[in-house]
Structure 1
Amino acid sequence: MAAAMKKNDAHKVTLERTLFQTLWATFAQPLLQTVLPHFLLGLVIYAPLNWTLYLKDAQKLPLHWLFPLFWVSSGCLAGLACVVAKWLLVGKKKEGEAVHIWSIGVFLDTTWQAFRTLVGSYFMEMTSGSIFFVLWMKLMGSEIELDQGAYVDSMGALLNPEMVEIERGDEGKVKFGKISIEEGGFVGSRAIAMPGVRVESGGCLSALSLAMKEEIVRSK
């Protein structure tokens, strides 16, 4: 019995951390998550920027005509660098996998998440719904076919790309439905009402809440 208790205690996950882990999380990790992603992005866009300036001087082209080409080319390279960083720093996660909160794996994951967020803001968010975004998701481990479109409103959905699986349902059709709000009904800020939802008189769909398809929000 005593041996079993010791074994269970050894595998118990706690929030305790060593002095080194505390110093790292307080000072080093924040710098790593801010400096390293911007440094990597700077390295990625260096070559396209030089190429753009070379075309400007060699072909005597106006710089403002070359900036869109620079942005697209550097954005694609940044997306590819994000994929490489994902597999080098994080690797493939398994469903149900558990790691210690202060482990090196979590530190590397948060560093990659910072770089992914930066790349998303720089370029990849703009491609959502296109084949470029689908290819980006697939290269990072998502199960999605290239002929499927995927619009992701929040980059938080790609925290763990390999856990994202998008299937084609209802033969790829988009179904529209009315949303009915009766007099005295209330829909809060950023609440989501799916097609067919009806908010009765006096009913309240609170802020940030979700009403599923054909749900009736009744008065209390």
Structure 2
Amino acid sequence: MANGTQNNESIQRILNPSDISISSEYSIEVFAQGLDSPSSMIFTNEGDMLVAESGYTSGNPRVLRLVNGRFEVIADRFNVPLTGINYFNGVIYVSHRGFISVVEQNGTRRNIITGLPSNGDYYNSRVVVGPDNKLYFGQGTATNSGVVGLDNDWVFTNPLVCDYPGEYIILNAQNFETDNILIEQPEREAIYTGAYSPYGVLMYLLKSEKVS
């Protein structure tokens, strides 16, 4: 059984393979434990197993390689979360919040894409290599609905983050009322936020008549 480094010994998880429902012709068992919220696993052309830890528990995302039944650290200290890894032409591609980095065979690393808008609910995804040898990845949205609200805890550290529409759209300037979570007050204070706007930023009609 392979074991990762236990980053927080106070956190224990009971692993019971029978909790996972599978077809009767298959069996399941625990292969590795003690990992920090693993986000992906790949195999290199040389047959090595690589595992990515997202870093949600420890705050230190890592890329691990299985060697003789144990994991060794290839690279760490990425942004939380590390969302996925891939391997192509001897290079490990690492996707982590706001960045896509590469780790060379000699252990050196560099960022190849920076400044991705990943400070909201969802992040940039794992890189894949297409048949044209180009890199492809997804970019997550800031919210679930296009409106920043009370469920977006990141507004305290990134108050200007919001979604952007993928194409030109027409809105009817509807604003959504919530409690103002950015200030402490003894009594309730309302704040209004428009779609595709930072928290607390209103939308206004450009004409006196409502746009349908």
TM > 0.5 fold call:
no
Larger-Rg structure? 1
Q: What TM-score do the two structures reach when normalised by structure 1? A: 0.22
Q: What TM-score do the two structures reach when normalised by structure 2? A: 0.23
Higher helix residue share: 1
Structure scoring higher RCO (CA < 8 A, sep ≥ 6) equals 1
